Structures are given as C-alpha cells and as structure tokens.
Structure 1
Amino acid sequence: MGMQVNTNLAANNAYRNLSTTQNALGKSMEKLSSGLRINRASDDAAGMAISEGLKSQVNGYTVAARNAQDGISVVQTAEGALTQVHSMLQRMRDLAVQGGNDSNNDDSRKAIKKETDQLTQELTRMSEATKFNGKSLLDGSTAKMDFQVGADGNASNQISVNLSMANVKSIAAELNGGDLAAAGTKFDIAAIGAVGGASTFTSTKGGVATTITTANLGAPGAFTSVEGYADALRKDAAFSANFTVTVEKDANGAGTGISVNAKDGGTLGTTSAGTGISAGTAGTALTGTGLDFSTAANAQASLNLIDTQIKTVSDARADLGAVQNRLESAVNNLNVGKENLTAATSRITDVDMASEMVSFTRSNILSQAGTAMLAQANQSNQGVLKLLG
C-alpha cells in the first residue's frame, strides 16, 4: 500500500468507529441516568406507543380509585344518618305500643304525641342537614349519584348510588300528615259457645283478593271466651301469616268480638268469618292526620304507619350497604389492575441496569481504545517527512 498524505484511511476508520462507540456510550449513560429504556420514540417506537397507553390506564385507575373512595364516603354519610333515623323510628314505635294501652289517660296520650312530634321535626331537620360536599343526601333532591370507577368512558365504568329510598323528608311528612289505615274490621260475637269450625277471612289490595281459611279450630262450645278464640286464630299458620287479631271488650273488660287487620294493608271483607260470628264492620280511615294516639285503635294504626317507615329505612340501608360493598370491591379491583398495569409498563420502559451497565462498560473501553487508535492513525503518516528530509 502506498503512502498518502491527503487521505488517511486508517484515521477515518478509527474516527467512524469512535463516533459509533461514543453514540452508544451516550445512550447508555442516558438510560442509566434516567432508569428508562425508552427515553424517546426512536429508542422503541412500538414500545413507546404501548407504554403511553398503559400509563393512561394506570393514571385513570388511580383517579377512579379515588372516585370510588368518595362514593364510599357518600354512602357512609347517608347510611350513618339513616342509623339515627332508625333509632328515632324505633322510639316512636315504642311510644305507639304504649299508646295502644287503654290505661293511658288523655294527658298521657298528649305527652306521647308531643314526643313523637319532636322526633318527627328532628327527622325533617336531619333530612335537610345531611350533606356531602354541599349536596343534600336525604331530602329527596338527589335521587341518584353516579361515580366514575373505571378508566374508560362507557356505562360499565360507572356505579350509581340510589338515594331515592333514603328520602327522610318524605318519611317525616308521612308521619306528620299521612293517612292512617282504617282500624281493623270488627266481628261481633254474641255467644262464644256458638263459635266453632274453620274461619274464613278475605282481604283485597290493589284489586287482588286474598282469601284465607283456617284449619278446624274446634267444635261449637270448645271456646269459653273470645280471648280463647283469638288465641286459636293466632296459632293458625295461614291466619297468622296474613292477619293480626285483637279482642274487642266492653266497659267491664269482657270480650265482645274481634278486630282483624290484614298485614299487607289490604281492606278486609265484612262477610261473616264463620259459625257464631256476625258480619264485620269496617273501620274508618283517618286522612291527613299523621300519627294519632288519642285512642288505642288510632295508636295501633299509627304503629302500622311507623312500621311501614321502618321498613322503608331498612330497605334504603340495605341498598346502601350493598352499594358500599360493591364500591369497596371496585377499589380493590382497581388497585390490583393498577399494580399489574404498572408492572407491564415497567417491563416495557424500565432499563435493566445490570445489562445496560455491561453495555456501558464495553462502550467506555471501546471509546478509550478508539481514541488511542485515532491518535496512532494520525501519527502513521509522519514517516513521509523522513523521505523528504
């Protein structure tokens, strides 16, 4: 090979290799300093696109978990208030049971009414005061609240909390001015010795009639008192599943007949229930009075009204409890999903430090060697000067 001065092929080759090594060394230093395998799209275009999509899901899951926690807080706020509503309704029920006793005089009944009025007012106040972030929960103004518990924009990523059944303001209004069901249908019994055989009762609700016939309660003469006949009715499975019975008494405390109520709130028929029992007389409903304890019969009707509201609150609390469990499950699922997606993103974007350190060490050594060889190549043409000397 001849000796040239204008072109130093050895130096050019060394320079090219040194430039490649320096680029590799720079990328290794960038990856080691950032901890990321992908610092720009050119490092891995497909991996960058996948990782950004995964990051969107991870960030969405993080926010969705916070949303679900907010939902749990809303449910706990509403359910906690309903716990107190239940306590007040139970106290009202106790008072209604007390009011059903004819040992109460007028002053006692007025005292019972005063306490229930105060409790009803507190129910109204609670319904207006129970709020979350300024939104009322129990006054009926917020029927439903939707919570975004997923990272995507479709219906399956939302959970709805139904607050329509938790309308405490409506419950208070019903207790304060609702209609009391009619007193039970009364069946007079002129001679208890004539009562015997099976008894039949029919109630109608929503246009649907339900007829119940008891078992044979005994032959005529089997009962010595109206109380005994009422006890026999209570022990009959078919009757007790659908009706309640109380004994009507005269001024001397002697039983004169029975009063029967349908448990489903239906209207009881007045047809004679059986042998020795006269045709019934339907009770009169009280309209717009709310709770009334002026008589034992009205106290019983008030008791039924309170029981209806207790059931309403129980249903609302059960629904809220079920939704809270669902939200908690959603949070757990989001946390698991976030963990797995974060791991997937890490496998794509994070650098293997040990492997990259091997590459860095190799490039560093090659860089030093390339620099030395470039210096040697630049000196290789110095021999031409001796030919000229």
Structure 2
Amino acid sequence: MVIPHSTCSLNTYNTYNSLNIEKSKSVKKLVSGLRINSASDDSPGLAISEKMRSKIRGLDQAQRNIQDGISLIQTVDGALSSIGNTLTRMEEIAIQASNGVLSYSDRQSVQEEITQLYLGVENISNNTKFNSIKLLDGSNVTNTPGTEEFVEVETTLSDPNLRLAAVVFDYTRNLSQYLAVGIVNFPTNLNSPYNAMFTFENPPLNPNFIYSPLGEDTDSTIENMLRTVEDLKNDTSGDPIKTAQKRFLIDNNISLTRYGVDVLVIKHSTATNFTYHAGGPDGSGVCSGTTWVEKGWTADFIYHELKTTPPSSSSAPVTLQVGPDMGDTFKIELPNSKPANLGLNGIDVTNQYNAQAAVSKIDKAMSTISSQRSKFGAYNNALEHIASNVLNSSINLTSAESRIRDTDMAMEYTKYTKFSILQESAQMLLKEANLSKERVLYLLNF
C-alpha cells in the first residue's frame, strides 16, 4: 500500500467535481429554462439561435407595420366613402335641377347646396391625414412630361363651300404647362376660360388644311373639357405658321370647335378674329378619320399617325416594410381626390342644360371614387394576406428557435437526478477511500 498518494481518493474527488459542475449546469438550465445560457453551452446553436431571434423580432415589427398600413387604408376608405356619399347627394339634386318645371330661383337654391357640397369634398380631400400624412390631396403625385414628335393631317379643298364636319381623336393623355397657337401662348391648366385673339387678313381661297401639334405633354385630366377655336385662318402667303409649337391652318373663314373629350368640329364662319377658349388642358392622340360634307360632297382625310412619348404620372407612395429583410416592402399609392381632379370644377345647375351636364360630371366623379375605393379594398385584402403569412413565419421560426435554445425540462430534470445520485455515490466512495488509509495508522498503533 502506498501512503503518500491516494490514487483512489484523487480519482473519486475528480469525478465528484465533474459531477458537481454538470449538476450546476443542469440546475442553471432548469432555473432559466434555456438550454444555451452561454456560448460554451453550444456555440453553433447560439449563433443560429441569435440569427433566428433577430428575424423573429423583425417579423413581429413587420406585423405591427402592416397593421399601421391597414389603419391608413381604412382611413382613406372612410374618407372616400364620405366623398362618395357627398357626390351621391350632388347627383341627386343635379338631377332635380335638370327637371324642366323648376324656376331659376329654384335652381339657384340647388346651386347653393351644390357649392357647399363641393366645398365639403374639398375639405375632406385637403384635411384627411394619417400621422400628419395627407392622404387625398394629391401632394404625393408628380408629373413627367411626354413629347409629341409629329402629326400632320392634310387635304386640299376644291370647292370653297366645302366644310369639315368632324374630326374624331382618340385621346389617352393630355397636355400641361403651355400651348402655342400662332404666336400666342396659352396656359392649359385653367379653371376658367382663357381668351386670346389675332387676325390674318385676306386669306387665300384654296389653301391646304394642316393640323400639326408639336411640343410636350404632361399628365393631367382631359375629362369635362370645353375648348373652342373660332375663325382660325391662314396668313396672306398661304404658308403654315412655322414659329408655333401648335399649328392649325383652316381656310376661308372656317371656325374650329372642340367639344367634350373626343370630337373636333369645324364649321363655316364669317368672323375675322381668332379666339381660343381653354377650360382645361389640351390632349394628344391619333386622328382616326373625318368627312368633308357640303351639298352631297364627301372626301376622305389623309392623315399621319401621331408619334408620342406618353406623359407619365409618378408618385411617392407610402412604402410599408412588411418583412425583416431589405426589399420586403408594400407600396400604397395615394389618390388625388380633390374636386378639381374629379372634374367637378365649374359645376353649374342654374339652367337645365348645365344641370344635365353636371349630372354627367358628377357621375364620372363617382365612378372615379368607386375605382379608388376598390383599389384600396384590394390593398387592404393584400395586406391581410401578407400579415397572415408574416405571422405564420414568425410562429414557425419561434418554434424552431425554441428547439435550439430552450430547455427540455423533462430531459433536463432526468439529468439533474442522475447527477445528484452520482454525486452522492462519489461522496460515499471518497469517504471509503479516505478510510482505507486510516487502517495503516491502526496497524502502526500496535
């Protein structure tokens, strides 16, 4: 027997210490509920778990962002609903004013209510906000000009009594900023008619008719527009006006009148001055055909296609972050629901004809509002589906992270019990190992 060193006791002691360390770790896991309390517990698992936790927190914030977006959409929808109700009332009383049995004073009373309802729509569009963001005033919309490269329509009159009955254009966009006719510039975004005049003396008898608009387009509305050009003539040389951005050549005291959206009418006139009335922006498009009529005469129009770069309207949409990563976004384009943009400017019901025209304007405005509400309803549904997917991703990722990071309590308690039993056994064996050395002292006493 070797007395200086008790190998059995040392081995038992080392085992006892190891069991004590493992038991302490087990207690820590049971108390915290986490399998990984430090990097030493499971360094790869800790890295994966931390990455998952970051994603989970991002998904949870995205869920809150989506709910904010849904609240914004519901705010817009509520405001558009109010505008729609107002327009319904406007249409109702405009139809009432269209009735021929009403007197002027009756229609004047209706006009007063129309005016107040108009102001109500403007108030809603100007003051509807979400977190200080204006939602319906169109402040987020910017327009990008387009260009017209070329359009030319020619024909030659062989009889001065012939007149152009109609030219029909297919308009898809409209002009903004300025038009030039001859040497006179006209701002086209007008809320009321704008007049300008110039005169050409002694026009030739049989010049060519040329329509050649050049210049820029920008995005605005072409609906509910009335435009009149009267007594537009050639100069004394018979040449087109070459310095203008917009050129019209009509011979023999003919007036050109633009009605509504898609019909251009030229008819005979004897006036000597040119007058241009603009109640809205000009348009761009392609001439689709015309007929010259007088005493049974007809002639086809020769035309060239308008080559355009259409104007575009861009906006700064409200962009929602709907996920934890860059690019996980959802864009909400806010509408412009101001009365002017809805084509409600200048509504007049003080006579029967204007009241009937007002009904048409209001009906188109209601159609626009309905379309906008439908769009925001689609936004709402899309966000609800995105929210459901984000929530599902968060739940599944949380479950996966939990399996990596959290303690399996039943398994860990089993380990704790095992370590406790082994630790007690080690204590007993250590005591026994120490007692074995005492037997040597017992022998020495004899």
TM-score (ref. length: structure 2): 0.58
SS at match of 1:41: coil
**Post-superposition shift, 1:375?**
2.0
CA offset digits 1:235-278 (Å, max 9, x no partner):
xxxxxxxxxxxxxxxxxxxxxxxxxxxxxxxxxxxxxxxxxxxx
**Paired position in structure 1 for 2:288:** none
Give the SS at the match of 2:9: helix
Q: Which residue of 1 is the match for residue 48 of structure 2?
A: 50
* 2:419 counterpart of 1:363: yes
Match of 1:64 among 62, 68, 74: 62
Cα distance in 1 between the residues matched to 2:47 and 2:339? 53
Q: Distance in 1 between matches of 2:422 and 2:408?
A: 21
Q: State the Cα deviation string for residues 66-92 of structure 1 (Å, max 9, x = none).
A: 100000000001100110100110111
* Secondary structure, counterpart of 1:43 in structure 2: coil
Cα distance in 2 for partners of 1:96, 1:171 equals: 19
Checking the alignment, whether the CA contact within 8 Å between 2:104 and 2:351 is kept in structure 1 is no
**Could you say which structure has the higher strand fraction?**
2
- The residue that corresponds to 1:258 in the other structure is none
| Residue ranges of structure 1 left out of the alignment (5+ in a row) | 178-289
- 8 Å CA contact 2:118–2:339 kept in 1: the answer is no
Output the CA distance in 1 between the equivalents of 2:425 and 2:76. Answer: 74
Q: Which moved more, 1:51-60 or 1:317-326?
A: 51-60
Q: Deviations over 1:199-219 (max 9, x none)?
A: xxxxxxxxxxxxxxxxxxxxx
Q: For 2:40, what is the secondary structure of its paired residue? A: helix
Structure 2 counterpart SS, 1:107: helix
Name the aligned partner's letter for residue 298 of structure 1.
N
2:38 is aligned to 40
Q: Give the corresponding residue for 2:395.
A: 339
Deviation at 1:337, TM superposition (A): 1.2
Q: Report the counterpart of residue 159 of structure 1 in structure 2.
A: 330
Instruction: Give the one of 89, 92, 103 matched to 1:91.
Output: 89
Please point out which of 429, 439, 442 is paired with 1:373.
429
- Structure 2 partner of 1:321: 377
Q: After superposition, where does 1:58-207 map in structure 2 within 5 Å?
A: 58-143=56-141, 144-154=317-327, 157-164=328-335, 166-168=336-338, 170-171=340-341, 174-175=343-344, 177=345
Q: How does 1:234-383 map to 2 (within 5 A)?
A: 290-383=346-439
Structure-2 separation of matches of 1:348 and 1:170: 60
Offset at residue 171 of structure 1 (A): 4.0
Q: How far 1:97 sits from its partner (Å)?
A: 1.3
**Which residue number corresponds to residue 221 of structure 1?**
none
8 Å contact kept, 1:135–1:142: no
- SS at 1:291's partner residue? coil
Residues 152-207 of structure 1, C-alpha deviations (whole Å, 9 max, x = no match) = 112xx11111113x4235447x42x3xxxxxxxxxxxxxxxxxxxxxxxxxxxxxx
Amino acid at match of 1:308: K
Q: In the TM superposition, what is the alpha-carbon distance from 1:95 to its structure 2 partner?
A: 1.6
Tell me the secondary structure at the aligned position of residue 323 of structure 2. Answer: coil
Structure 1 position 387, deviation (Å): 4.1
Q: What SS does the corresponding residue of 2:331 show, helix, strand or coil?
A: strand
Give the Cα–Cα distance (whole angstroms) in 1 for the partners of residues 380 and 440 of structure 2: 90
Residue type at the aligned position of 1:158: T
- The alpha carbon displacement at 1:128 in A equals 2.2
TM-score, normalised to structure 1, is: 0.67
- The offset of 1:338, in angstroms, is 1.1
Unpaired segments of 5 or more residues in structure 2? 142-316
Matched pairs, number: 270
> Residue 99 of structure 1 contacts residue 112 of structure 1 at CA under 8 Å; is this kept in 2?
yes
For residues 127 and 96 of structure 2, what CA distance do their matches in structure 1 show?
31
Q: Is the 8 A contact 1:138 1:169 kept in 2?
A: no
The alpha-carbon deviation at position 358 of structure 1 amounts to: 1.2
CA deviation vs aligned residue, 1:337-359 (integer Å, no higher than 9, x gap): 11111111111112211111111
Mark the CA change 1:335 to 1:55 in structure 2 (over 3 Å): closer, same or farther: same
CA RMSD after TM alignment: 1.5
Q: Structure 2 counterpart of 1:344, which letter? A: A
Q: Is the 8 A contact 1:140 1:170 kept in 2?
A: no
Percent of aligned pairs with the same amino acid: 38
